[in-house]
């Protein structure tokens, strides 16, 4: 198929030429074809919304999940009764004020709208886009145009005709270039079948503007968080991983100054940065995409998708993004960034202090961690998290089973002894196992650390091998004289002296931890209670030092 590409800005105001091109687009749509169309929000992939076969082609070309409905594009509220039923007066109130514009209303549908368009729902999304070219095309085509955003499913949306060409160019009949999108994020989706109405997707029309006109609206949980597997968002599209570049994204919220500093701490080579203009100079060795001034959300909305898309042509391994606050357009911009990050979000304003606590058996790590709890902190037991993933994640089990066939029983229970024999026989096998474990464990632990507020200790034997030390403000080696350790392990585990020595010698020695960690907490005490008090004072001083350091920046 040959795609026709029309740049309507090229015609330099030659009215006849523009009209001809609009007619050609309308004709293609009437005949069941696909046209990339400009709107003020993002580019759409349009087809006759009343033609099931044409709509099916949209799903094919985008690779869109079948259960994700499309929205209908019309030229004004006078079209509502054609496609919608039980229309509440508030729909007209909203249309009068905000149409044409970035507001999609969810209403009961008429039987004229095929199941293909609504993905079988008894409701339909409908909006009037604010772009003269697309309004003219719809008018001339004479029917509602179903159009999702023109990106292939999962990618960031298209805000220029070039983006559309890149994503679906070879699979559509025509692309109409109407210039870069002026809003830059998709429409706000509002469910009017509920009372009060419910925000399903934040977008180009701020919630505050809607509430000023019609009063309080509810916000769907999918707007601010990733949903658990069994949860269903109001808008089916909100459950999918979305807008994501190939490299993983982490969003850093908080005041612009704090988030910039937080990113600076993580700005290793190979890191990509999305930031406000004022902070771009902090990242001379990174690939930087600027969102615009921190105070200018209009510009940020226009640039956010292009910023996310552009990393795919670079070799960055990881992306960190600053994020505006939730007011006005900020809610939509932040939502797109957070979705791109799979809601992997770190709040740079939180007074989080992460301590990595490590050391061999019998040194007193448990008492030290008790002291962290005494100080009001929390403890993440990495070993417990490992066991939890082991019991819950089939993907994890499969990965282990692939490398070490037969270590699981028929019931899916791990045969620890067998796995132990396999990995301790050969060093490289242990490394394979660790690589698998870290691949699953680290993202989980990173998310737990990011969610922690205040003081938090990571209890990890392999703090350095796993790379978890990166997440810590300080790493602490808990050490103790060998003879004391032997005595403690014998008493604790009711084992012989010989076996206790064997266990201690099988582990890394204190020198190792001492050499790797930022500081050492030596436990030469005979009483666990006394050591717990010592540890309490030790951590108290350490926290003060870290806080002071953070204050100074
Ligand atoms: O700005 C926009 O809305 C752009 C331009 C092209 O108009 N279009 C757009 O379409 O973003 P799309 O398909 O990418 O996103 C539509 C969202 C999806 O999350 C979808 O699940 C939701 O609206 N949606 C559509 N119909 C719905 C319905 N009947 N009930 C609930 N959610 C619906
Ligand atoms: Mg979309």
The residue whose CA is least distant from atom 22 of ligand 1 is: 235
Q: Count CB neighbours of 175 within 10 A.
A: 27
Whether cis (ω within 30° of 0) applies to the bond prior to 100 is yes
Q: What is the CA(122)–ligand 2 centre distance, in A?
A: 20
Residue 352 contacts residue 453 (beta carbons within 8 Å):
yes
Ligand at minimal distance from the CA of 189 is: 1
CA–CA gap between residue 380 and residue 354 (Å, rounded): 10
Q: What is the CA(254)–ligand 1 centre distance, in A?
A: 29
Instruction: Produce one character per residue of 509-525: b if its CB has 16 or more CB atoms within 10 Å, e if not.
Output: ebebbeebbeeebbbeb
Please list, in sequence order, all residues whose beta carbon lies within 8 angstroms of the beta carbon of residue 208, skipping any fewer than 6 positions away. 327, 328
Residue 189 Cα: closest atom of ligand 1: 23
The alpha carbons of the chain give a radius of gyration, in whole angstroms, of 29
Q: Can you give the pLDDT at residue 159?
A: 96
When pLDDT is cut at 50, 70 and 90, the band that residue 428 belongs to is confident
Q: What is the CA(148)–ligand 2 centre distance, in A?
A: 6
The mean pLDDT of 117-136, rounded to a whole number, is 97
The residue whose CA is least distant from atom 13 of ligand 1 is: 148
146 lines ligand 1 (CB under 6 A): no
Write out pLDDT tens, residues 504-544.
998 899 999 999 999 999 999 989 999 999 999 999 999 99
Q: Can you give the pLDDT at residue 302?
A: 97
CA–CA gap between residue 135 and residue 139 (Å, rounded): 6
Q: What is the CA(305)–ligand 1 centre distance, in A?
A: 17
The residue whose CA is least distant from atom 32 of ligand 1 is: 235
Q: Give percent of the chain above pLDDT 70.
A: 97
Residue 197 confidence (pLDDT) above 60: yes
Residue 109 Cα: closest atom of ligand 1: 29
CA 225 to chain centre: 9
**CA 149 → CA 3, 162, 184, 342, 536, distances in Å?**
18, 14, 11, 19, 56
Q: What is the CA(57)–ligand 1 centre distance, in A?
A: 17
Of the listed ranges 44-58, 268-282, 421-435, 523-537, the least confidently predicted one is 421-435
130 lines ligand 1 (CB under 6 A): no
When pLDDT is cut at 50, 70 and 90, the band that residue 427 belongs to is confident
45 lines ligand 1 (CB under 6 A): no
Instruction: Produce one character per residue of 255-287: b if its CB has 16 or more CB atoms within 10 Å, e if not.
Output: ebebbbbbbbebbeeebbbbbbeebbeebeebb
Residue 39 contacts residue 129 (beta carbons within 8 Å):
yes
Residue 41 Cα: closest atom of ligand 1: 1
372 lines ligand 1 (CB under 6 A): no
The residue whose CA is least distant from atom 33 of ligand 1 is: 235
**CA 335 → CA 66, 257, 344, 458, 508, distances in Å?**
23, 20, 12, 30, 45
- Mean of the per-residue pLDDT values of the chain: 92
Write out pLDDT tens, residues 225-267.
777 666 788 888 887 777 889 999 999 999 999 999 999 988 9
Using the structure block, give the residue that is written with the tokens 């309004």: 135
Please list, in sequence order, all residues whose beta carbon lies within 8 angstroms of the beta carbon of residue 13, skipping any fewer than 6 positions away. none
Q: What is the CA(177)–ligand 2 centre distance, in A?
A: 19
Pairing of strands 287-290, 271-275: parallel
CA–CA gap between residue 168 and residue 61 (Å, rounded): 7
CA–CA gap between residue 39 and residue 128 (Å, rounded): 10
CA–CA gap between residue 274 and residue 310 (Å, rounded): 11
CA–CA gap between residue 278 and residue 275 (Å, rounded): 8
Write out pLDDT tens, residues 367-388.
999 999 999 899 999 999 999 9
Within 102-200, residue ranges assigned H as helices are 115-118, 132-141, 161-168
The mean pLDDT of 20-24, rounded to a whole number, is 93
The residue whose CA is least distant from atom 10 of ligand 1 is: 148
Q: Can you give the pLDDT at residue 10?
A: 59
237 lines ligand 1 (CB under 6 A): yes
348 lines ligand 1 (CB under 6 A): no
Q: Can you give the pLDDT at residue 13?
A: 62
Q: Give percent of the chain above pLDDT 90.
A: 76
Q: Can you give the pLDDT at residue 1?
A: 43
193 lines ligand 1 (CB under 6 A): no
Residue 223, classified by CB atoms within 10 Å of its CB into exposed (0-12), middle (13-18) or buried (19+), is buried
Write out pLDDT tens, residues 397-415.
999 999 999 899 888 888 9
| 476 phi, psi to nearest 5 deg | -125, 125
| Six token digits for residue 356 | 């990595």
197 lines ligand 1 (CB under 6 A): no
Q: What is the CA(119)–ligand 1 centre distance, in A?
A: 11
Residue 236 Cα: closest atom of ligand 1: 21
The mean pLDDT of 433-447, rounded to a whole number, is 90
174 lines ligand 1 (CB under 6 A): no
Nearest CA to 332 out of 172, 183, 465 is that of: 183
Residue 45 Cα: closest atom of ligand 1: 6
Q: Could you write out the DSSP letters of every residue in 63-129?
A: T--TT---EEE-SSGGGHHHHEES--HHHHHHHHHH-SSSEEEEEEEPTTS-HHHHTT-SEEEEE--
CA–CA gap between residue 146 and residue 113 (Å, rounded): 10
| Six token digits for residue 352 | 């989080």
CA–CA gap between residue 390 and residue 409 (Å, rounded): 13
121 lines ligand 1 (CB under 6 A): yes
The residue whose CA is least distant from atom 19 of ligand 1 is: 237
The mean pLDDT of 300-324, rounded to a whole number, is 96
Residue 121 Cα: closest atom of ligand 1: 29
Q: Can you give the pLDDT at residue 82?
A: 98
Using the structure block, give the residue that is written with the tokens 């697309």: 134
Q: Could you write out the DSSP letters of every residue in 318-354?
A: EEEEE---STTTHHHHHHHHHHHTTT-EEETTS--EE
Write out pLDDT tens, residues 62-121.
999 999 999 999 999 999 999 999 999 999 999 999 999 999 999 999 999 999 999 999
107 lines ligand 1 (CB under 6 A): no
Residue 353 contacts residue 454 (beta carbons within 8 Å):
yes
148 lines ligand 1 (CB under 6 A): yes
In the structure, ligand 2 is a single-atom ion and the residues with CB under 5 Å from it are: 149
Residue 272 contacts residue 292 (beta carbons within 8 Å):
no
118 lines ligand 1 (CB under 6 A): yes
Nearest CA to 251 out of 312, 201, 190, 318 is that of: 318
């Amino acid at each position: 198929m040959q795609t026709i590409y029309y740049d309507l800005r090229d015609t330099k105001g030659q009215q006849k030429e523009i009209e001809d091109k609009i007619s050609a687009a309308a004709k293609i749509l009437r005949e069941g074809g696909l046209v990339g169309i400009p709107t003020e929000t993002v580019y759409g992939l349009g087809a006759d919304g009343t033609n099931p076969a044409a709509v099916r082609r949209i799903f094919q070309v985008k690779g869109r999940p079948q259960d994700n409905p499309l929205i209908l594009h019309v030229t004004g509220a006078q079209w509502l009764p054609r496609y919608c039923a039980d229309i509440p007066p508030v729909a007209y109130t909203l249309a009068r004020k905000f149409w044409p514009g970035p507001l999609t209303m969810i209403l009961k549908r008429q039987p004229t709208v095929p199941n293909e368009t609504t993905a079988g729902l008894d409701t339909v999304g409908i909006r009037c886009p604010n772009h003269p070219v697309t309004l003219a095309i719809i008018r001339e085509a004479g029917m509602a145009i179903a159009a999702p955003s023109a990106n292939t499913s999962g990618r960031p949306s298209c805000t220029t005709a070039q983006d559309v060409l890149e994503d679906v160019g070879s699979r559509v009949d025509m692309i109409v270039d109407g210039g870069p999108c002026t809003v830059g994020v998709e429409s706000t989706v509002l469910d009017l079948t509920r009372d009060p109405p419910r925000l399903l997707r934040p977008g180009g029309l701020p919630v505050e503007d809607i509430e000023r006109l019609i009063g309080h609206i509810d916000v769907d949980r999918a707007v601010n968080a990733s949903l658990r597997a069994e949860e269903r968002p109001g808008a089916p599209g909100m459950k999918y991983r979305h807008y994501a570049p190939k490299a993983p994204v982490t969003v850093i919220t908080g005041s612009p100054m704090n988030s910039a500093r937080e990113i600076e701490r993580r700005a290793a080579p190979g890191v990509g940065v999305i930031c406000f203009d004022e902070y771009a100079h902090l990242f001379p060795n990174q690939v930087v995409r600027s969102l615009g001034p921190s105070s200018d959300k209009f510009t940020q909305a226009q640039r956010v998708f292009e910023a996310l898309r552009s990393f795919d042509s670079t070799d960055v391994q990881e992306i960190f993004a600053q994020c505006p606050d939730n007011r006005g357009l900020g809610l939509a911009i932040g939502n797109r960034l957070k979705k791109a990050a799979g809601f992997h979000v770190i709040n740079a304003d939180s007074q989080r202090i992460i301590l990595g606590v490590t050391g061999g058996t019998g040194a007193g790590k448990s008492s030290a961690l008790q002291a962290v709890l005494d100080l009001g902190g929390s403890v993440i037991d990495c070993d417990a998290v490992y066991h939890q993933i082991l019991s819950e994640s089939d993907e994890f089990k499969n990965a282990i089973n692939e490398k070490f066939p037969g270590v699981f029983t028929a019931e899916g229970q791990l045969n620890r002894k067998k796995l132990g024999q396999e990995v301790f026989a050969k060093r490289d096998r242990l490394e394979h196992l660790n690589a698998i474990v870290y691949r699953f464990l680290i993202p989980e632990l990173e998310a737990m650390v990011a969610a922690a507020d205040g003081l938090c200790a990571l209890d990890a034997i392999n703090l350095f091998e796993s790379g978890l030390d990166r997440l810590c403000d300080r790493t602490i080696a808990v050490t103790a004289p060998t003879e004391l350790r032997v005595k403690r392990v014998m008493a604790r585990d009711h084992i012989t002296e010989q076996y206790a020595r064997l266990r201690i010698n099988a582990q890394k020695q204190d020198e190792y931890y001492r050499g790797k960690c930022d500081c050492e907490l030596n436990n030469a005490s005979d009483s666990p209670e006394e050591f717990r008090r010592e540890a309490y004072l030790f951590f108290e001083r350490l926290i003060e030092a870290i806080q002071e350091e953070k204050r100074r920046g």
